[in-house]
């Protein structure tokens, strides 16, 4: 809840200067008895959403990590991803491992330094301290995923990863490296289409196809 940053939120209990009964009276007066029940239901559902059910399924852990990140619980999301990575490694599940590496690369890139530096991972060298460091770690994990994708000849995933590696280079100000990655992405995409002509690729709204996505990225990076 970043829009409430700096505001201390206290539970409505005996420590509240008004107490539960007073709050209920105010809500009922303003919204009626149904409004109070609805508010109570939302509060309960919010609490249950905050709790994460323990699971040993690494794919479920990745799904939970996504929900946690959206809720702003980045450090907990990171822990779930690394737990999934460990399980995928133990199970020898390369495809799952590639996805977990990719998820962590996004987690690092998307969240600002002020959030990431609070993650306190076991290895201090994995804690980025500036924008370039954040992108370097993002690229490192995209490349871990890429190595697995290449070993399994997953051309669609390879195209996605090269595109995102290019994005991280772009954000780090390394335009030449970004352009090279975008070219590699397009080449992998074309190879994928040759193998699977009906290949469906997720692209942002307003973009006709993957080649146009790459073209826009190259224009932004001022590729020659």
Residue 71 CA: distances (Å) to CA of 52, 107, 173: 12, 13, 29
CB atoms closer than 10 angstroms to residue 12: 13
DSSP secondary structure letter of residue 200: -
Which CATH fold topology does 53-152 show?
1.25.40
Q: What is the pLDDT of residue 133?
A: 79
pTM over 0.85: no
Q: What is the pLDDT of residue 73?
A: 86
DSSP secondary structure letter of residue 8: P
| SS3 of residue 120 by DSSP | coil
Rounded distance between C-alpha atoms, residue 166 and residue 79, angstroms: 26
Position of tokens 């690092």? Answer: 108
Task: List per-block mean pLDDT (blocks of 10 residues) for the chain, which spans 224 residues.
Answer: 25 36 42 45 41 88 93 88 97 96 92 60 45 83 97 92 94 93 96 90 90 96 92
Closest CA to 150 of 96, 188, 112, 122: 188
The ranges assigned to domains in the chain are 53-152, 153-224
| SS3 of residue 154 by DSSP | coil
Q: What is the pLDDT of residue 52?
A: 75
DSSP secondary structure letter of residue 118: T
Report the helix count and the strand count for the chain, using DSSP H and E. Answer: 9, 0
């Amino acid at each position: 809840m970043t829009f409430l940053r700096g505001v201390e939120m206290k539970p409505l209990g005996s420590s509240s200067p008004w107490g539960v009964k007073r709050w209920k009276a105010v809500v009922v007066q303003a919204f009626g008895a149904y409004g109070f029940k609805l508010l109570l239901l939302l509060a309960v559902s919010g609490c249950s959403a905050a709790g994460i059910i323990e699971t040993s399924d690494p794919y479920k852990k990745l799904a939970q990590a996504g929900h946690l990140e959206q809720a702003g619980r980045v450090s907990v999301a990171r822990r779930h991803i690394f737990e999934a990575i460990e399980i995928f490694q133990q199970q020898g599940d390369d495809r799952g491992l590639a996805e977990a590496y990719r998820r962590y690369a996004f987690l690092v890139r998307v969240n600002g330094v002020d959030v990431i530096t609070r993650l306190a991972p076991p290895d201090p060298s994995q804690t980025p301290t500036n924008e370039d460091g954040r992108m370097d770690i993002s690229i490192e994990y995209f490349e871990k995923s890429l190595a697995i994708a290449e070993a399994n000849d997953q051309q669609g995933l390879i195209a996605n990863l090269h595109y995102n590696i290019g994005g991280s280079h772009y954000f780090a100000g390394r335009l030449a490296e970004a352009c090279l990655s975008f070219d590699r992405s397009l080449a992998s995409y074309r190879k994928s289409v040759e193998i699977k002509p009906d290949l469906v690729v997720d692209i942002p709204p307003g973009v006709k196809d993957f080649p146009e996505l790459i073209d826009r990225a190259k224009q932004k990076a001022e590729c020659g």
